[in-house]
Structure 1
Amino acid sequence: MALKMSCAFATSLDSHEHAKIAEDLGYRRAWFYDSPALYPDVWVQLCRAAERTERIGLGPGVLVPSLRHPMTNAAAIATLVSLAGEDRVAVGVGSGFTGRMALGRRPIPWREVAEYVRTVQALLRGERVTWEGAVIEMLHRPGFGPRRPIEVPFLIGAQGPKGIAVAHELGQGVFGAPMPIPGFEWSAVLTFGTVLAEGRTWGRSGRWRRPAPPCR
């Protein structure tokens, strides 16, 4: 498994500029968090980033299924693809631990996550699918969205056995584990850190310090 450096942002009003900086620094992808109680709309900022950048991969890391109807996320994915191209877009989906906790809710059961991902993927393929007792289909005509099928990789935000099973069934990889998870070609690992101001370094205590002045 080749190591590729990407970055993840707690989505802000400046995330599109942060993605541009990440692209200039050579990062492979920029992931934006999805939590409307805490951050701006993830799709708006991803589309702004697509218009601001040329090469860096973009995607939500990770979507919370209960926040939006499957058609809404399918249309949003299609919009981002129309701006960035299929080869730059990847979609992370999780059970909504942080995003739902901020709304006073528990994470979604994995069986519901799996059904949601199946539905969104079917819509992107151009299929008709039943959701909440109704048959739905992407009806976008030329000029209102890219042609179907739309094929983008899905990563499942999982660490335990149930989520990993969903990733094996429906995803191209896993997202957000503290260590790589074997059995996947694509395992996104989150390592938290910070950016130091110019002229500052890390000390043994783990706190930044100014470098010692030169001896004279």
Structure 2
Amino acid sequence: MSSRLGVFDAVIFDFDGTLADSHAAMMRSYVRWAEEYGVDLSQARMYTGRPSEAVARALVTDGRAEEAGLRLDALEVSDTDGVVALPGSLDALSALDDGRRAIATSCTMALVVARMDAAGLPLPAVVVAREQYAHGKPAPDPFLVAAQRLGVDPARCLVAEDAPAGVAGAHAAGCRVLGVLTSHTADELGADWHVGSLAEVSFAVTADGVAVSLA
């Protein structure tokens, strides 16, 4: 028996870890970057879901943080080998029209476009990338911008997220949050609902909005 989460005006998806698995490609880039800048990435997991410049500011302490953030972006854009769609992501995106779906990501626009293409996923009309907001997750900015561009109230949006920073940002924006357990536990995420993947979720456009149910 399915469990209905509610009806929402729109669904805002995180990208990495929610719609696609880019972990192997990301780690190859991080390993090379760490070698180039002499940083220790043993604590990198705590930065999951945050922009490259935030990672660089935290780990590069010799005055080269800005340069390091740009270099990390460049390495990631150039390596999309093995980036694949996660279960249910294509169906989720295909179930919604462009007025009901968006992506809000810590990736740059170049990176999300490259990874979406590699994963074979359709790019929504509304993609809010790192260049388009002032403060990254866990700030609410990415989700507020996405809701504004969709023309909907953030409180009427469902956000799908896999990282604690993203869940915190979505809650701060007033959204309800569906946590995807690809890299963190439910306790770590603290979302309103949790699933293993989007394959466990049904999205149906109705006259009232997007009806979202768990299988």
* TM-score (norm: length of structure 1): 0.31
User: As a proportion of its length, which structure holds more strand?
Assistant: 2
Computing the radius of gyration over CA atoms, which structure comes out larger, 1 or 2?
A: 1
* TM-score (norm: length of structure 2): 0.31
User: As a proportion of its length, which structure holds more helix?
Assistant: 2
